[in-house]
Chain A
Amino acid sequence: MSNRTLPVNIQGNHACALGAVAAGCRFYAGYPITPSSEVAERMSAELPKVGGIFIQMEDEIGSMGAIIGASMGGSKVMTATSGPGFSLKQENIGYAAMTETPCVVVNVMRGGPSTGMPTRPAQGDVMQARWGTHGDHPAIVLVPSSVKEVFDETVRAFNLAETLRTPVILLIDEVVGHLVETIALPKASELDLVDRKWADGPKKGFQPFAVTDDMVPPMPRPGDGYRAHFTGLTHDESGFPTQKPEKVAQAVGRILDKLERHRDLIESYEALQTDDAELLVVAYGITGRSARKAVAMARDKGLKAGLLRPITLWPFPEAALKEATKNARHVLVPEMNAGQLCYEVERICGTERIARLNRFDGEAISPAHILEKIEELA
C-alpha cells in the first residue's frame, strides 16, 4: 500500500480500536478488564466521532449480547476482553455462530487459569478460542504478532465476519496489546472493506438460512420487511426450530462447511525459509516474533531452520504446515502455555517429529530460549 499517513507511535490495543473503526465498526460494547481495557477506552473516544455507539455494559455477558443485538440490527460490531471475560462470553459466541451473526471478539490474553495474572502474558486461550462454546461450531481465530499486524488483522477480522456471517476471534498477546510501535496507518480509501450481504430479494417465502452456493445466505435486516426469526435453537432454512435429523445435520453441517469452503480467504500465515528447512519452528503471536529472530540466529550458525507463523490459528493452515514440513526432521512448537497448538501440529505431522517448548510463568519466550532448543534438536 502506498500513500500512507504519517507514522504514529501507537499501542497494540489502540491499533486494534483504530483498525476496527477503519473497518467500519460502529458499535462497541465492553466491560473493563486488564489487559484489554485500552481497546474500550479508545473506542469510547473514536466511535462517537464517526456516528458510532460505544456502551460499557454491566458485565461481559451483556457486552457480548449487546454487540450481537446491534449486529442483528445491521451494525459492524466488536467487543474486547481477556481470559475471565472471554470465558463468560462463550455462550453468546456460540449463539452468534448458530444464528450466523457477524461480530469480532478480541481476547487480549493474560495468564490463567481463573483470575491468573492479569498483567502478564500467556497464550493459554488457544484451545478455548477454538472450542470455548459448547457444541460443534465454526471458529475463525486470528493471532497478530505486531502492532501493525493488529491493525491489519482487525480489519481482516471484520471482513471475514461480514463475508462469512460468523464470529471472528482476535487473540492478542498481552505483550502485543501493550507494545508501542511506530506504524503507518493506511488511509481509509486504501482499505478493502466488505459489507455484509443483505437480503434484498422477494419477501414472500424468504428463507433466511437457505443453503446458497457460497454457504452464506444473505442476512435479513430488521425493518426491510422480511420479519425473520433468529434463534439459538437448531433451525432449518426457515429459521424456525427443527429436530429432524436431516435438517439438523444440514444446518450444523453448513455453518461448519462454510469455513472449509472459504479456507483460502481465511487462512493466513508467514512462512520463512521453509523450503529447505530441516527444523521447522511453528510459533504464533509474540512467540512467532521471537522465533523469527531465533531462526535467523540459527541460520547464521548454519542450521537449516525455518519458521511457519500462523496468523490464522483456526482453521489451522494445514496445507501450509504440510508443505513446510516436507523436509523437516524436527518440528518445534514453542508456546506460552503447557502445550496447546502442538496437538494440532501433531495431528498433521505425526508425533514423532514434534518437540515442544512451553512456558507458562508469565514471561515471554525469548529468541535465545528458542535457539537453545533448536541447537539441542539439531
Chain B
Amino acid sequence: MAVAESVDNFEINDYLRLEMMPHFLCPGCGHGIAMRALLWAVHELGIDKNKLAIVSGIGCSGRMGAYVDANTFHVTHGRPLAFATGLALARPDLEVVVITGDGDALAIGGNHLIHACRRNLRMTCLLLNNEVYGMTGGQVSPTTSENRLTTTTPAGNLEPVFDACKLAEAAGAGLVGREVTLQTPTLKDLIKEGLAYPGFAFIEVISDCTEIFGRKNDLGNSPEMILSQKKSMRPDSYGTVVDEPFRPNSLPTGVLARNDRPEYGETYRNFAKSKQGRAK
C-alpha cells in the first residue's frame, strides 16, 4: 500500500525526451524496466533534472541515457566511470549517475570500476547486466553463465563467470547492491538508497536480453526470462547465504555490502582548502 501511494505522482514522461521515443531497444529488453526504476527513484528523491547528469558507455545500456531529459553524456566504451570521475570532482553539485553494462564495466572498463570503488567518490553506478554483448550481435561477456551459447562460444561458454558485486565489495565500494528487474519497486528503492548514499554506490541490475541471448539459448520469451531470473536469485543478505549456489548464475539480491568510508571528493576539497589557507 505504501508503494502504491508513493508512486501516485510519478509520471515517467516528465523525465523522458518524448521526441526521442520510442526507444531503440528490442522488445522485452529489461534495460527499459531498469530505466523506469532509476527515474522513479530520481523522482521520489526530488532530484532536479537540471542537476542530474547521466554518464553512459557503449552498448545497449549506454544508449539509454539519450532518452532521459537530463544532462546526458554518452561516452566511449568502458570509460563512463572515468568521465564521471572528472565530472563529479569538478561539479560536486551534480547528481552523477553512471549507466554501464556487463561488457562496458567488467571487461573493457574493469580497471575504472575497481578504482572508482576504491576511491569512493560520490556517484551511483548502475550496471545493467544482461550477460551478453547485445549491441554487437550476442558475443560472450564476463557475466555470461557457463555453458551458454553466444556467437563467440559456439560450444557454450567455457570461461567462469564474474560476480560484479563481490568485485565491487572487495574493491571498497561504499554501497553494493543487486536486484532483478521483475522487482521494480524494490529495485527503485535500492537505487534510491544508492542515489542518497554519500559515496560510491554500485548497483547491479539483472536485466534480460530476450531477442539475442534468450533466443540463442532457448530461454523462452521475455516474461519467461524475467521470471526465471527471479527464480535464480536469492533475496538474502550476502553474509548469511551459503557459498554453494543453487545454480551457476544464482546470485543474492538486496544490499550486499556497505563500507562507509570518507567520500573522496570531500576529502580532496578539504585538503585543497588547507593548501589555500597556507598560501595566504
Which residues from chain A sit less than 8 Å from chain B, CB to CB?
26-27, 29, 47-53, 55, 57-59, 61-75, 77, 91-92, 95, 220, 222-233, 240-241
Contact = CB atoms under 8 A, between A and B. Distances in A.
Given A53-B268, A73-B87, A229-B74, 11 more contacts: A51-B276, A52-B272, A62-B112, A69-B82, A69-B83, A70-B87, A73-B91, A222-B94, A223-B91, A225-B50, A229-B65
A101 to B, nearest CB: 10
23 contacts: A49-B272, A51-B276, A55-B85, A55-B89, A55-B268, A58-B111, A65-B83, A65-B112, A70-B86, A72-B86, A73-B91, A73-B94, A74-B91, A222-B50, A222-B51, A222-B91, A224-B50, A225-B50, A226-B71, A227-B69, A229-B74, A230-B75, A232-B75
B234 interface: no
Contacts, number: 144
A66 B75 CA distance: 11
A63 B71 CA distance: 22
Q: Which 7 A-B pairs have the closest CB atoms?
A: A69-B86, A65-B82, A66-B86, A69-B83, A70-B86, A48-B272, A70-B90
A75 B83 CA distance: 13
B73 to A, nearest CB: 5
B66 interface: yes
B184 interface: no
A53 B275 CA distance: 12
Given A95-B75, A232-B76, A69 B93 contact: no
Contact of A223 (B86, B88, B93, B272): B93
Contacts of A230: 72-75
Contacts of B50: 222-225, 227
A263 to B, nearest CB: 29
A77 B53 CA distance: 19
Contacts of B60: none
Contacts of A74: 90-91
Contacts of A226: 71
B175 to A, nearest CB: 21
Nearest to A91: B76
Nearest to B66: A229
A290 B114 CA distance: 47
Contacts of B94: 73, 222-223
A241 B66 CA distance: 9
A36 to B, nearest CB: 19
Nearest to A94: B76
